Amino acid sequence: MSKWSGERIGRLSLRLDAAYCTVLGAGVAFTAPSIATALPVPVWVLVTAGVAVVFWAGLILVMLARLPMRAALRLVMIANLLAAAAVAALSLTSAAVLVVLAVLAVAVDIALFAGSQVFALRRMRNAV
């Protein structure tokens, strides 16, 4: 197995994705009242979304431990693509340019995780 095999890249991608989700979800949940002033979303929706993202981080780790790597990468990649689209769409509801840019930056971060998972899957396919 090469030093940076698809399997290793996939494990790293999923671990970093879980860590990112934990930090982002907790941040959104705890700062929901402040965020709600910039986005037309009720505080309870933001708190729920933040908690759901932290829960998702735990599910990523469970998938990493229990599913075949390809399946875990595919599931998380699909979820990341959907989340990136949803976050990008949410940015369109904000009137403040800085808020739009911040929310779009989160969408780009999520899309980059999906890209790293695609990369790992391709490396795994080429290794077979």
| Calpha distance 97→59 (Å, rounded) | 33
pLDDT digits (tens, 9 = 90+) for 22-38: 999 999 999 999 888 87
Q: Which candidate, 75, 32, 62, places its Cα nearest to that of 50? A: 32
Is residue 102 a part of any domain in this protein? yes
Q: What is the pLDDT of residues 62-108, one digit of tens each?
A: 999 999 999 999 999 999 999 988 888 877 776 666 677 777 788 88
Q: Which domain holds residue 34?
A: 6-127
How far apart are the C-alpha atoms of 45 and 23, rounded to whole Å?
18
Q: Is residue 1 part of a domain?
A: no
3-class state of residue 18 by DSSP = helix
Whether the CB-CB separation of 32 and 50 falls below 8 Å is answered with yes
User: Does residue 108 sit within a domain?
Assistant: yes
Total domains in the chain come to 1
